[in-house]
Amino acid sequence: MSIKTDVLVIGGGPGGYVAAIKLLQLGKKVLVVDRDKLGGECLNYGCIPSKALIAAANNDHKSKKPAPGAGVSEIDWEKVVAWKGEMIGGFGKNIAALIKGNKGDILIGAASITSPHTAVVEKSGGGTETVEFEQAIVAVGSQALSIPGFDIDGANVLGSKESLDLARVPHAMVVIGGGVIGLEIGTIFAKLGSKVTVVEFLDAVLPVIEKDMAVPVVRNLAKLGVDVFTSSKAKSWSKKGKRLEVVAATPEGEKRIVCDKILVAVGRAPRTKGLGLEKLGVELDDHGHILVDTEMLTSVDNIYAIGDAVGPPYLAHKASREAVLAAQSIAGKPLEPRGHVPWAVFTDPEISWVGLTDEQAKAEGFHTVVGKFPFAASGRAQAVGETSGFCKVVADKETHRILGAGFTGPHASDLIGEACLAVSACVTLEQVAATIHPHPTLNEAFAEACEAALGHPLHTLAVKRAAPSFAS
C-alpha cells in the first residue's frame, strides 16, 4: 500500500523542513523524506558545527593569545566535539518535533521520483515505500567537490564534513582552496595551534569578495601563522612516515609541505543525480542545477525545487526563503519577491554583505557614493579589543537610496540584519543616519558609515570628494 500525501518534500535541510512547516501551516498534508538526518548539511555537517568549533577556538585563543608556532592547544577537544554532537542532536530532535507538531510525517530514506505523481523511497532500515503526491519539492542540497589526486577518504584527505569531526587537533594541516569554507576551517585549527597552509589556485584568497573587505582577514591569517600560497596548485600527496606530504606548484617553484591532514575545500555541487529528474523532463543546467522560475517551479508543472539544488549562492537562509516561496505558490498564496540574499563569512574578522557592491552598482548604471567607518573609531570595538575592519555603505548619489552595505569586523554576521532591511526597503542614507543607534554598540558603525557617505561623518574626518553633489 502506498503513502498518499499532498506534498512530498525531498530533503529535510533548511530548505526542506521550512517548506514542510509552511505548507502544514497553510493546510497541506506533507511527507518529508531525508536520506540522512533532519537539518541537512547545514545542521549536521556545515553551518552549525563549524560555528560551534569557531566559538570554541575563539574562546581558547582569546584566553591564551598563543604565539604562532607555540604548539597545539591543550583544549579538551574530545569534550568540545562531544558538546557539538549533543547540540546538533538536540536541534535535529527539535526539527522533528516541529514537523510532527504541525501534523507532518517524516520518512528517512533515499527518494527517487518515478512519475509526475509518484516516488519510491528506499528506507534506511531496509525495504521500500511508494509515495503518491500532488506536488513535490526537491530540496536535496549540495555536496563537496574533490579534485584529481585528492579523493576524499575521510582519514587523510578530508572534506569539510570530516574536518569538523576529527578526533584530535592535527599538528599541521594543508587547506586546498582559499574560499569561505577553507578559510573558516583553517582559522579554527590555526587558533588551536595547528600549522595551517592554504593553497589557492586563483590570485587571491576569498576571490569573490571585494579586496578591501578581505584585507583584514588576510592580515590576521598572517598573524595566526598561516602560510598562504596563491596562484598555486596542489599536485599530489603521499604518505611520509606517519605524516603526509603535499606537493604544490607555486609562483616561487615547487613546494613540499608536510602535514597530518589535508582539507579539500574547492567548492560544492548540487546533489541532483539519481532522483529521476531527467526522465520526468525536469530541465537542469550543465552543472546539474535544477532550472526554476520565480515561484521555484521547474519545467514540470507540479515539481518545485529550492536551495542548493537550484544554484548558488549555497546558503541556508536562501534555501529557507525559497522554501516559503514554493510553499506559498503551492498553496495559491500571493508571493513577495525573493529579494537580495545576504552572506556572511565566519573568518577572523568576520565579513558580511547585502545588495550591490560599488562595482556592481556602477555596472548597473548607478552613480554611486561610498561611506566607510572603521571599527578602530568605535568605542565598543575598542572596549572589547576587536578593532579590525570597517562598515561600508554604497548608495545612489542622486537619491541616496542604499544599494548595498556590509561589514568586515567583529560580529559582522550579526550586524548585517539592519543593512538587509535598509536595502530591501529602499531606505536612504539620511533615514539611517537619523535613526538613533544605542551607544556604545558595534551597530553604530552603520549609521556612521551613512554619515560618511553624506560627507559629514561625526567620529572620523571627512574624505574630500571631487565635485560632490547631493540631493537635498
Q: How far, in Å, CA of 292 to CA of 294, rounded? A: 7
Query: Which contiguous run of DSSP H or E holds residue 259?
Result: strand 253-259
Considering the candidates 61, 367, 411, 439, report the single residue annotated as catalytic.
439
d(CA 312, CA 108): 26
Residue closest to 7 by CA, chosen among 98, 113, 144: 113
Q: H or E segment at 423?
A: helix 412-424
- Work out the angle between the directed axes of helices 180-191 and 47-64 (0-180°, nearest 10): 40
C-alpha cell, 151:
579523493
- Mapped to the 3 state alphabet, what secondary structure does 25-93 carry? HCCCCEEEEECCCCCHHHHHHCHHHHHHHHHHHHHHHHHHCCCCCCCCCCCCHHHHHHHHHHHHHHHHH
User: Helix or strand or coil: residue 129?
Assistant: strand
- Altogether, the residues listed in the chain come to a count of 472
3-state helix vs strand vs coil in the chain, percent to 5: 35, 30, 40
Q: Does residue 405 sit in helix, strand or coil?
A: strand
Show the cell assigned to 66.
598563543
C-alpha closest to that of 125 among 142, 109, 101: 109
**Beta carbons within 8 Å of 115's beta carbon, 6+ residues apart:** 280
Q: Is 439 a catalytic residue?
A: yes
Q: Please, are residues 314 and 144 in contact by the beta-carbon 8 Å criterion?
A: no
Pair type for strands 261-264 and 157-158: parallel
Q: Which residues are catalytic?
A: 439
